[in-house]
């Protein structure tokens, strides 16, 4: 099998070196092209890439000169579209150790219109889950217990099981990736870009396969989220930069899809229908506008002087590529033309109403029909229930 590994890297050189050595040691008889993007690192990544390229003809790299980071949302796609030369590619993190036989397992399952994820073995830095194996073989390269990991791998019973989850590392045909336009830059520099593209792959008819025969050891979150060389205090706390970006990306995911990220226990995406929802708010204030705006296509507020809208746009528009000025309407000149309209009064709106609102696409899918109804203290008017999620497949 010929495969291109796709690895953006920012200030995590010690993990990148560790990952590179494991790939070369355990790639077997496969032809592996390693494609690295140095995202304005200041830890010597650039110099290491220069030296590695001299001795390894299957090592390729690009550099973002910075000083601002581009993030892996952007750099994944640059590597896949402009650097990688193999038909098959794999999104791969620098804090991963490729276990022996992993590429054999991918080769057995990979085909066009199929994405194959390797099973992650992880130390207990995050809660356990049925999609991974929790075992502690070290949380830093310098304390990595390689012999113990290999003994564990060799002791496992042969496991040809597959499930339908999808997560890094995931291997795919570049043609399938390019067909839907790759990652959405809405989420740059990072966070939720993977959930978004997995939704779009699923809607496009791609099959997900998690092979339990092939594994990586994953130290987790060292790319940026808990990278102590890049603003994280330690490996147990998320960096303030990541937390802020995760909040922005979460709000953008809701704006686009109409719901939070959803998946089953084994990490297969769950996609609710995308409806044309408008919200009309009586007595809106800044807190309620901030709470409600991501959850609809259009929001109508009583703000004739545009003071509330102007302040909100100044604060929120820098956090999204979506044009919020076209989304927020004001009375009395505007009215809602959406297919589904929710009426909210600030004086009666409760936490339970917001919980209903967050589940509205599922409620409409299961019980919706044209007419006028009450949901908690909210009014609901349904004109039509056209589903628009398939319009989100291609960028």
Strand bridging mode 2-9 / 88-91: parallel
Query: Which pLDDT tens digit goes with each residue over 264-289?
Result: 999 999 999 999 999 999 999 999 99
pLDDT at position 263: 97
Nearest to 173 by CA among 206, 149, 214, 136: 206
Distance (Å, whole) CA 230 – CA 218? 19
Query: Which pLDDT tens digit goes with each residue over 1-43?
Result: 999 999 999 999 999 999 999 999 999 999 999 999 999 999 9
Nearest to 171 by CA among 96, 115, 213: 115
pLDDT band at 304 (very low <50, low <70, confident <90, very high): confident
Helix or strand run (H / E) with residue 363: helix 360-367
Query: Which pLDDT tens digit goes with each residue over 195-238?
Result: 999 999 999 999 999 999 999 999 988 777 777 666 777 776 87
Determine the average pLDDT of the residues in 137-150: 96
Q: Which residues contact 18 (CB under 8 A, 6 or more apart)?
A: 94, 97, 141, 144
pLDDT at position 230: 67
Distance (Å, whole) CA 41 – CA 65? 9
Tokens of 166: 């999808």
Query: Which pLDDT tens digit goes with each residue over 160-193?
Result: 789 999 999 999 999 999 999 999 999 999 999 9
Strand bridging mode 162-163 / 207-218: antiparallel
Angle at 193 between CA 351 and CA 101, to 5 degrees: 125
Angle at 29 between CA 36 and CA 220, to 5 degrees: 40
Q: Are 137 and 22 in contact (CB under 8 A)?
A: no
pLDDT at position 221: 81
pLDDT band at 242 (very low <50, low <70, confident <90, very high): confident
Query: Which pLDDT tens digit goes with each residue over 338-394?
Result: 999 999 999 999 999 999 999 999 999 999 899 999 999 999 999 999 999 999 999
Map out the domains of the chain with their CATH numbers.
Answer: 2-257 (3.90.550.10), 277-392 (no CATH)
Q: What is the DSSP string of 199-240?
A: HHHHHTTPEEEEEEEEEEEE--STTTTT-TTTT-SSTTS--H
pTM of the model: 0.96
Question: Is a pLDDT exceeding 70 seen at residue 194?
Answer: yes
Tokens of 47: 């110099």
101 by Cβ neighbours in 10 Å (0-12 / 13-18 / 19+) ranks as middle
257 — phi, psi (to 5°)?
Answer: -100, -20
- Return the exposure string of 266-303: e unless at least 16 CB atoms fall within 10 Å of the residue's CB, then b: ebbbebbbbbbbbbbbeebeeebbeebbbbbbbbbbeb
User: Dmax of the chain from CA atoms?
Assistant: 71
Nearest to 143 by CA among 235, 81, 73: 235
Distance (Å, whole) CA 63 – CA 65? 6
């Amino acid at each position: 099998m010929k495969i291109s590994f796709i690895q953006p890297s920012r200030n995590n050189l010690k993990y990148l070196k560790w990952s590179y050595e494991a790939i070369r040691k355990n790639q077997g008889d496969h032809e592996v092209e390693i494609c690295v993007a140095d995202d304005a690192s200041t830890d010597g990544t650039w110099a290491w890439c220069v030296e590695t390229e001299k001795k390894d003809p299957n090592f390729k790299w690009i550099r973002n000169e910075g000083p601002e980071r581009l993030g892996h949302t952007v750099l994944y796609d640059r590597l896949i579209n402009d650097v990688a030369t193999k038909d098959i590619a794999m999104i791969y993190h620098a804090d991963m150790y490729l276990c022996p036989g992993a590429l054999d397992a991918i080769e057995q399952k990979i085909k066009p219109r199929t994405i194959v994820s390797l099973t992650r073995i992880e130390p207990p830095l995050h809660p356990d889950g049925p999609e991974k194996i929790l075992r502690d073989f070290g949380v830093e390269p310098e304390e990595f217990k390689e012999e113990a990991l290999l003994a564990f791998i060799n002791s496992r019973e042969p496991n040809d099981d597959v499930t339908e989850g999808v997560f890094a590392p995931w291997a795919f045909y570049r043609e399938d990736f390019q067909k839907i336009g790759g990652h959405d830059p809405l989420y740059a520099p990072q966070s939720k870009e993977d959930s978004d593209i997995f939704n779009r792959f699923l809607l496009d008819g791609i099959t997900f396969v998690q092979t339990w025969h092939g594994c990586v050891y994953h130290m987790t979150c060292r790319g940026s989220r808990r990278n102590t060389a890049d603003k994280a205090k330690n490996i147990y706390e998320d960096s303030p930069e990541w937390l802020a970006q995760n909040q922005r990306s979460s709000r953008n995911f809701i704006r686009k899809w109409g719901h939070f990220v959803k998946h089953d226990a084994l990490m297969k995406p769950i996609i609710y229908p995308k409806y044309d929802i408008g919200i009309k708010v009586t007595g809106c204030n800044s807190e309620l506008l901030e709470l409600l705006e991501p959850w609809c296509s259009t929001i109508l507020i009583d703000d004739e002087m545009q003071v509330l809208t102007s302040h909100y746009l100044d604060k929120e528009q820098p956090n999204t590529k979506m044009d919020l000025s076209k989304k927020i309407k004001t009375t009395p000149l505007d009215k809602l033309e959406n297919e589904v309209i929710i009426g909210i009064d600030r004086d009666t709106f409760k936490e339970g109403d917001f919980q209903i609102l967050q589940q509205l696409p599922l409620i409409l899918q299961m019980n919706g029909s044209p007419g006028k109804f009450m949901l908690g203290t909210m009014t609901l008017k349904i004109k039509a229930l056209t589903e628009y999620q398939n319009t989100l497949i291609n960028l």
